[in-house]
Amino acid sequence: MKLEASIGKSLSGDRGEFAEIVRQFQRPLFSFLARMGLDRPVSEDIAQETFVRAWINLGRYDPAVSRFSTWLFTIARNLALSELDRAEKRPEARETLPDIACEQPGPHEKLDLSRSMSRLRHALSGLSQADRSILALAYVEDMTLSEIAKIEGCTKVAAKVRIHRAKMKLRILMEKENG
């Protein structure tokens, strides 16, 4: 209800209310982009562009059609897929995966987690764009299967199957990373 009020006020020109919307969604959006396998500078650009496009097209958002988060993540997903597409066409870009500081000294558990995360990021980069996209959406808090299906343009059953398959592929890639 508060969000809908903020959207209404933003449409009336209250940019401060839109700042509240940005504040509310910036963290989940950055996490989503990280799970898409994008590094920090790229995530920052895409997140910025997502909010700018959301502002420009706010008048077209229809609460009767979808939740605001679904609409916002659809914009972010499309931008992320375009970026991944561009990155695939730049061969050197595949080498710019964020390198977690595995060699940093520190407690064992922290180091293990850091290594696991590094392996996960590498494994994610081995997935197809479609798999990355649906998997990243599956881990967005409060995102239902129906909403994921809507964003991905498929049925709920197809979304469930695709998530399951993407997880299986990621598991295999992780096992390969583990050697």
Partner 1 sequence: MVDELDGLMGKLSQEPPDDFLEVVMQRIDDLPLPVRAPRADLQWIALIAAALAGFAQLIAFLFGIWAASAAV
Q: Which residues bind partner 1 (CB under 8 A)?
A: 10-11, 13, 15, 18-19, 22-23, 26-27, 29-31, 33-35, 40, 43-44, 47-48, 51-52, 55-60, 62, 113, 116-117, 120-121, 135, 139, 167, 170-171, 174-175
What does the DSSP 8-state code read for residue 37? T
From the CB of 18, what's the least distance to partner 1, in Å?
6
From the CB of 93, what's the least distance to partner 1, in Å?
18
Q: How far apart are CA 65 and CA 82, in angstroms?
A: 24
Q: Is 95 exposed, middle or buried (0-12, 13-18, 19+ CB in 10 A)?
A: exposed
Q: Please, which residue, 16 or 89, has the CB nearer to partner 1? A: 16
Q: Please, which residue, 31 or 66, has the CB nearer to partner 1? A: 31
From the CB of 169, what's the least distance to partner 1, in Å?
11
From the CB of 30, what's the least distance to partner 1, in Å?
4
* Residue 79: half-sphere exposure toward Cβ, Cα within 13 Å: 23
What does the DSSP 8-state code read for residue 154? S
* Residue 18: half-sphere exposure toward Cβ, Cα within 13 Å: 17
Contact 65, 48 (CB under 8 A): no
